[in-house]
Amino acid sequence: MKSAIILFPGSNREGDVFRALRQASGREPAIVWHADTDLPSGTDLVVLPGGFSYGDYLRCGAIAGRANIMDAVRAHAARGGLTLGICNGFQILCESGLLPGVLMRNRDLRFVCKMQRLKVERADTAFTRAYGSGQIVKVAIAHGEGNYTADDETLRRIEGEGRVAFRYCDAAGQVGGAANPNGSMNDIAGIYSDKLNVLGLMPHPENLIDPLVGGIDGTGMFASLAAA
């Protein structure tokens, strides 16, 4: 698998994604600067990493979502190319129109940084085949604007088309309630595009790939992608 990580001014999780992809695929991803206009030829997977692109100015992901490279990312996604946005990358995918909805300020106005359980909604996509459907995984979250919001019609469409990738739950697998860290509608932690080739999620699976840092539940996503 040939992957490319897009680097924006203010990205800061590109190294974590780099390690996770190298560990899973045995190949080093390319790092692509936001001002470039093309992806390396033969790119199978594009990753928009976490961080604070453009200092979160205007709205999180708003300026990065309109960067030069995003035209190439849109074309890649339109061809069915795999595209993954993590945390700020999810915000960028929403701002660029590649995914519906928006990530608003957390319900409690606090930046939340902790371990979080997620329920894997479906295990039949290029991102989740190494997981089981309904599996509960432990990953990290670290965001101030992760409150997924969409209008009723969009929400109904996403749910109806099976495009919710992950929901916030507790260790027992109970979805929502106190386990929802940011007020996201329907406890949504991540969503797919209509063709399931674009995934955006707030949590950081790339940070849970080594027992040294508290777990390896994140490896499933990168193993799935490496095998896709």
Partner 1 sequence: MKARVTVTLKNGVLDPQGKAIEGALKSLGVVGVAGVRQGKVFDIEVEGDDRGKAEAALKQAAEKLLANLVVENYRVDIV
List residues binding partner 1 (CB under 8 A): 58-59, 62-63, 66, 94-95, 100-102, 104-109, 147, 149-151, 183
CB of 224 to partner 1, least distance (A): 29
Nearer Cβ to partner 1 (64/226)? 64
Question: 55 is written with which tokens?
Answer: 């200092």
Q: Are 140 and 205 in contact (CB under 8 A)?
A: no
How many Å apart are CA 184 and CA 168, to the nearest integer?
A: 9
CB of 166 to partner 1, least distance (A): 21
- Alpha helices by DSSP H, listed for the chain, are 14-25, 69-78, 88-95, 152-160, 219-227
Among candidate residues 87, 94, 95, 169, the one labeled active-site is 87
Place of tokens 């996604």: 77
204 in active site: yes
14 in active site: no
* Contacting residues for 156 by C-beta, under 8 A, at least 6 apart: none
Nearer Cβ to partner 1 (106/125)? 106
Q: Go through 99-108 and write b for each residue having 16 or more CB atoms within 10 A of its CB, e for each that does not.
A: bbbbbbebee
How many Å apart are CA 202 and CA 11, to the nearest integer?
A: 14
CB of 140 to partner 1, least distance (A): 23
60 in active site: no
CB of 149 to partner 1, least distance (A): 6
Catalytic residues: 87, 204, 206
